[in-house]
């Protein structure tokens, strides 16, 4: 299928419902697994880790939208970014709720002490706090209310979230010296962020070259 065909497919009415259902499946599976005792010997740890893993996967997907849209010339991909971004927040919220509810028993004092005591919990909680305004302003009205420039500046916080998410994952795995998955997610997210830096640098060079050309023509 060529690029035009893929763009037509991506704007089809059923794409968003299919994406919504697909992204929801991991959460439904976890509910089923918890209800029917399929989470292994430590269900609390399984829930916390699984929701954390799916947060990272959704974050990789949402950050991959722009590179894929540009490189593959698929502008229709942009219409799926909001839903993927909201699912990042959904799984991050589930991750936090599993930790706070099942691991800490919703004891606010214990949770506060744990956040202050363990750096990887603090980093993860900070990432969640940064995600919250992004989810709250993901609607078209928020863009009109904030203005496009301020909205775009705010949503660049997702890059900080990506860095904090990997740091959170790294410190969590450091206790068991198990970094294989950390390397995978770190490589993927690092590549996606590096592509953005390269694109911004290339765009700056192009604008500078155009400016110099314009100046030369003006002198003539």
Query: Can you give the pLDDT of all 220 residues of the chain as single tens digits?
Result: 678 888 889 999 999 999 999 999 999 999 999 999 999 999 999 999 999 999 999 999 999 999 999 999 999 999 999 999 999 999 999 999 999 999 999 999 999 999 999 999 999 999 999 999 999 999 989 999 999 999 999 999 999 999 999 999 999 998 778 899 999 999 999 999 999 999 998 877 666 655 554 554 443 3
The Cα 38–Cα 15 span in angstroms is: 31
By C-alpha distance, which of 6, 86, 21, 87 is closest to 51? 87
Radius of gyration of the chain (CA): 21
The Cα 132–Cα 134 span in angstroms is: 5
What range does the domain containing 160 cover?
Answer: 3-219
Q: Residue 70 has which token pair?
A: 């540009």
Number of domains in the chain: 1
**CA geometry: angle at 23 spanning 19 and 24, to 5°?**
115
- Burial label for 74, CB within 10 Å (0-12, 13-18, 19+), is middle
């Amino acid at each position: 299928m060529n690029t035009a065909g893929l763009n037509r497919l991506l704007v089809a009415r059923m794409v968003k419902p299919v994406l919504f259902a697909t992204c929801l499946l991991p959460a439904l599976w976890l509910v089923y697994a918890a209800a029917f005792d399929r989470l292994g010997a430590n269900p609390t740890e399984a829930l916390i880790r699984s929701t954390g893993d799916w947060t990272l996967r959704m974050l990789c997907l949402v950050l991959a939208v722009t590179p894929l849209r540009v490189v593959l010339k698929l502008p229709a991909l942009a219409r799926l970014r909001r839903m993927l971004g909201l699912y990042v927040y959904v799984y991050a919220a589930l991750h936090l709720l599993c930790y706070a509810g099942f691991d800490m028993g919703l004891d606010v004092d214990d949770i506060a002490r744990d956040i202050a005591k363990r750096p990887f919990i603090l980093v993860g909680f900070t990432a969640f706090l940064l995600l919250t305004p992004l989810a709250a302003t993901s609607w078209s009205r928020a863009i009109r209310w904030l203005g496009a420039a301020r909205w775009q500046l705010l949503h660049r916080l997702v890059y900080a979230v990506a860095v904090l998410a990997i740091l959170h994952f790294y410190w969590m795995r450091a206790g068991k010296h198990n970094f294989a998955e950390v390397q995978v997610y770190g490589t993927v997210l690092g590549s996606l962020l590096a592509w953005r830096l390269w694109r911004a640098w290339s765009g700056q060079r192009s604008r500078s070259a155009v400016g110099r050309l314009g100046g030369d023509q003006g002198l003539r």
